[in-house]
């Protein structure tokens, strides 16, 4: 059981959130507005694949499901990198079972530039951390990465892709990722539920899908203490 990009970002927001993802996922409640935002982000990412022209997409789904076949995607990616494919989308990599699928890789000489796509008008710190995690996995997998950029949504829908260079900031996150990824791996395997007090991490940088579960437990405890 490794850590994916999503696992890492959620675990760094709140370790209990990651534990619940692994052990009690049926408790999650995704508000409609959040799901709409996720869907819009996926649509924007799909459109961005063609921003550099022709591309090869690595996505492979398990038969009869919408679940990615990570092993097949990793193998596809390896083959296309060996061929020197110019633009690779959803390029998959694994390092000690820790996994990422990069939005866009564009060949640049003897390396690849990496573009992370976000349906946002601005670059946010969590996007740089996100890119830093993926850089760490790709770098550890042996891929040479040149430029790293966050692609945001511009004001003009006719030309919506804005490229923001974050190379230095994202690569600097590699040490931070290495400091935390192994702890999250161990933590998510714990049989007992992580106990974390509700706080700012319930909403920042993203609203937690287990908000109702954690706060309901908090309310029950208060009622018991007050004899209600």
**pLDDT of 13-54, one tens digit each?**
999 999 999 999 999 999 898 899 999 999 999 999 999 999
**CATH classification at residue 166:** 3.90.320.10
Q: Is residue 73 part of a domain?
A: yes
**Could you tell me if 80 and 112 are in contact, meaning their C-beta atoms sit under 8 angstroms apart?**
no
- Residue 17 in domain: yes
Q: For 74-128, what is each residue's pLDDT tens digit?
A: 999 999 999 999 999 999 999 999 999 999 999 999 999 999 999 999 999 999 9
Domain extent at residue 28: 5-197
219 within domain boundaries: no
Q: Is residue 225 part of a domain?
A: no
Whole-angstrom Cα distance, residue 66 to residue 85?
26
The pLDDT of residue 222 is above 70: no
CA Rg value for the chain: 19
Distances 166 to 25, 26, 39, 128, 204 between C-alpha atoms, Å: 33, 36, 25, 7, 22
How many domains does the chain fold into?
1
Closest CA to 98 of 190, 205, 188, 166: 188
In this structure, the number of other CB atoms found within 10 A of the CB of residue 224 comes to 9
CB atoms near residue 40 (< 10 Å) = 12
Whether 203 maps to a domain, the answer reads no
Mean pLDDT, the chain, integer: 93
Structural domain includes residue 228: no
In a domain, 205, yes or no: no
Contact between residue 195 and residue 214 where contact means Cβ atoms under 8 Å apart:
no
Mean pLDDT, rounded, for 184-210: 93
Per-residue model confidence (pLDDT) at position 17: 95
Residue 224, in any domain of the structure: no
Question: Do the Cβ atoms of 174 and 140 come closer than 8 Å?
Answer: no
For the chain, give the percent of residues with pLDDT over 70: 95
Could you report the per-residue pLDDT of 50-62, keeping only the tens digit for each?
999 999 999 999 9
Q: Distance (Å, rounded) from C-alpha 98 to C-alpha 96? A: 5
- Which two tokens mark 107? 């060949």
Q: Minimal CA–CA distance to 90: which of 71, 69, 110, 73?
A: 73
**Please, what's the largest Cα pairwise distance for the chain?**
70
Structure tokens at 228: 């209600």
């Amino acid at each position: 059981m490794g850590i994916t990009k999503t696992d890492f970002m959620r675990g760094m927001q709140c370790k209990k959130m990651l534990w619940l993802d692994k052990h009690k996922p049926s408790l999650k409640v995704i508000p409609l507005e959040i799901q709409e935002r996720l869907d819009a982000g996926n649509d924007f990412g799909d459109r961005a694949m063609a921003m550099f022209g022709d591309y090869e997409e690595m996505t492979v789904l398990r038969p009869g499901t919408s679940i990615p076949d990570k092993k097949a995607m990793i193998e596809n990616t390896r083959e296309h990198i060996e061929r020197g494919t110019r633009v690779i989308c959803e390029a998959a990599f694994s390092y000690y079972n820790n996994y990422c699928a990069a939005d866009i890789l564009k060949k640049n000489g003897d390396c690849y530039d990496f573009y992370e796509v976000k349906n946002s008008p601005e670059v946010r710190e969590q996007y740089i951390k996100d890119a830093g995690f993926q850089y760490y996995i790709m770098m550890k997998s042996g891929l040479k990465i040149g430029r790293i950029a966050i692609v945001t949504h511009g004001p003009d829908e006719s030309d919506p892709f804005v490229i923001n260079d974050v190379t230095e900031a994202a690569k600097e996150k590699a040490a931070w990722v290495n400091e935390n990824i192994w702890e999250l791996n161990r933590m998510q395997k714990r049989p007992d539920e992580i106990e974390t007090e509700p706080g700012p991490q319930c909403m920042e940088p993203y609203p937690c899908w287990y908000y109702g579960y954690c706060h309901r437990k908090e309310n029950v405890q208060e009622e018991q203490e007050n004899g209600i």
